[in-house]
Structure 1
């Protein structure tokens, strides 16, 4: 775990926590990232995305009706005040125990209320020798929710993609790390801004970065 400002482990755990989720076999996720549709709201066709929302009930996931993602410009200067719609997560993915384990790890770590909505974003960022991939085109930002988590599934033929946390936009980051596959970064969105640096290929071929981003509340509405 990362230490900040001399806080005790219990105190700072409510700010951000990095953990390895050993109970999840990442291979089970990878086929579903090959079937993602392009994010229609980002120019360049380098980001692919699906999005669904859930609640946890007695260690079971309940999928909620289709909704629309909405953030204000105060949180997303690039796409704020835009009602965005994404394809739902694949039903076969949702049925996997490893997917359930991921959402439960987020819910348990953040001590969410049983009826709290959880948004799960499935995102692939693509880069090529001619084009960088930008995981955070909106820049250093907050999401406008309570808790967020970034779970790294795969990094293929890429360099970069380092995740940073800041206490203020114009300050130096208090956390900087490339999230390796299987690592889960949990963040209190009220206390930190976050950003991930662009990616580029290691060789003369396409590269990809696959992650799940979880938020609570979900920021989705019908």
Structure 2
């Protein structure tokens, strides 16, 4: 069902209950492991690049290499780069973010999510023999005087093959609605990630996607939206290419 939706529509939204069933092996049902995983979002570093333009966001970043046999290895820490074609605000520069902690990168929930994405996206593009995988922990903070902006802002593509966005937590916020647009600009879907493990999948070459800013429900209390964003980009195509 999920693979078919991506093939036909270029995107899919999977609710938390279905996602737990798809993950299968019990990892997502281990409440202690998930709680430890989710708590790591309290330890993200400020995005200093975004702070230069007056916005607030916290994040950590890691790069993995995945091959056709299913193996997935963490690569040496490296910058995140997007061209200005895909990120008009901060494209065209190498951005170095604090790395995802080793215990977080290697924990069961993270590895199960990455393995699931690898199997799904590898099935959609069997000709790809090696993937460049980037993993981002994001916390979008909402303040009374300034709503929390998504990343990147506005409707966009990421310049990769596939994207998986997993909701980790929503605290004291409203909005944060995802919309999907065809390449001609017409909206073809919208949904809001509201429960931990609500997940969106996007075929980045076929659709644009964007998320509305989040605002605090209670302006006197902290407010945030925590997500795990995973992108897959073909690093090596068919053998001999």
Classify the TM-score, shorter chain: 0.7 to 0.9
Name the counterpart of 1:16. Answer: 11
Q: How much has 1:69 moved relative to structure 2? A: 1.5
Compare the two structures and name the one with the higher helix fraction: 2
Q: Is the 8 A contact 2:163 2:229 kept in 1?
A: yes
Deviation per CA, 1:83-136, whole angstroms, max 9, x where unpaired?
Answer: 111111011101211110010111111126452121001100001222210013
Question: Is 1:78 equivalent to 2:94 in the alignment?
Answer: no
Deviation per CA, 1:165-212, whole angstroms, max 9, x where unpaired?
Answer: 1113743x2111111221121111000111000000111312110001
The CA distance in 2 between the partners of 1:135 and 1:28, in whole Å, is 24
Q: How does 1:50-199 map to 2 (within 5 A)?
A: 50-56=60-66, 59-111=70-122, 113=128, 115-168=130-183, 170-171=185-186, 173-180=187-194, 181-199=196-214
Secondary structure of 1:110's aligned partner:
helix
The CA distance in 2 between the partners of 1:144 and 1:199, in whole Å, is 25
TM-score, length basis structure 1? 0.86
Secondary structure of 1:217's aligned partner:
strand
Secondary structure of 1:132's aligned partner:
coil
Name the counterpart of 1:5. Answer: none
The CA distance in 2 between the partners of 1:96 and 1:152, in whole Å, is 17
Secondary structure of 2:206's aligned partner:
coil
Q: How much has 1:9 moved relative to structure 2? A: 4.8
The CA distance in 2 between the partners of 1:36 and 1:189, in whole Å, is 26
The CA distance in 1 between the partners of 2:234 and 2:76, in whole Å, is 12
The CA distance in 1 between the partners of 2:131 and 2:114, in whole Å, is 12
The CA distance in 1 between the partners of 2:97 and 2:5, in whole Å, is 38
Secondary structure of 1:117's aligned partner:
strand
The CA distance in 2 between the partners of 1:140 and 1:153, in whole Å, is 22
The number of equivalent residue pairs is 212
Q: Is the 8 A contact 1:122 1:212 kept in 2?
A: yes
RMSD: 2.3
Q: Is the 8 A contact 2:6 2:12 kept in 1?
A: no
Secondary structure of 2:91's aligned partner:
coil
The CA distance in 1 between the partners of 2:6 and 2:228, in whole Å, is 26
Q: Structure 1 unaligned runs (5+)?
A: 3-7
The CA distance in 2 between the partners of 1:94 and 1:218, in whole Å, is 21
Question: Is 1:210 equivalent to 2:240 in the alignment?
Answer: no
The CA distance in 2 between the partners of 1:10 and 1:51, in whole Å, is 26
